[in-house]
């Protein structure tokens, strides 16, 4: 399994995450990132039909402090499933470990607890 956690964090921190159409590179693949009004999931990814990588959508009402965390989760999960062959549950669990680590680095202790509590309530896409 190959994960570039520092590189992915750095790439995400260059994004505005304001709902505009943005792209980032991770392991040489292009990931399209934008918001959606669909609140079924706080974020999700879909296979891109235009380029290597995936399309990542985050709910437009998602708190700004959580956006980078869920985008990291979705990009990592997509990479692990699409390009490294992990099962959905394996990819998701590894992504949760990394978004939680990112939350600990990026948020205050109180915000991190709020994020972890919020994260536990979210549905898992199968």
CATH annotation of 5-120 = 3.30.2010
Q: Which helix (H) or strand (E) holds 60?
A: none
Residue 2 has pLDDT above 90, yes or no: yes
Mean pLDDT within 76-95: 96
For residue 23, give the nearest of 60, 50, 61, 62 by alpha carbon: 50
pLDDT tens digit string along 36-64? 998 888 899 999 988 899 999 999 999 99
Token digits of residue 46: 């879909």
What does the pLDDT read at residue 118? 87
Query: 């062959």: which residue's tokens?
Result: 85
pLDDT (average), residues 18-32: 96
* Distance spanning both ends of the chain, measured CA to CA: 21
Buried b / exposed e across 32-53, counting CB within 10 Å, b at 16+? bbbbbeeeebbbbbeebeeeeb
Evaluate if residue 122 carries a pLDDT over 80: no
- As a whole number of angstroms, the longest Cα–Cα distance in the chain is 40
Q: Where are the domains of the chain?
A: 5-120
Is-above-0.75 flag for pTM?
A: yes
């Amino acid at each position: 399994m190959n994960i570039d956690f520092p590189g992915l964090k750095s790439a995400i921190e260059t994004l505005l995450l304001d709902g505009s159409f943005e792209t980032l590179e991770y392991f040489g693949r292009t990931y399209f990132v934008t918001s959606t009004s669909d609140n079924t999931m706080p974020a999700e990814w879909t296979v891109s039909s235009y380029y290597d990588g995936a399309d990542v959508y985050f709910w437009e009402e998602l708190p700004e402090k959580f956006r980078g965390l869920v985008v990291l989760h979705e990009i990592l999960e997509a990479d692990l499933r699409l390009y490294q062959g992990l099962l959905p549950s394996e990819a998701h669990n590894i992504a949760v470990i990394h978004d939680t680590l990112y939350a600990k680095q990026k948020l205050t202790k109180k915000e991190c607890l709020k994020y972890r509590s919020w994260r536990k309530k979210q549905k898992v896409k199968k």
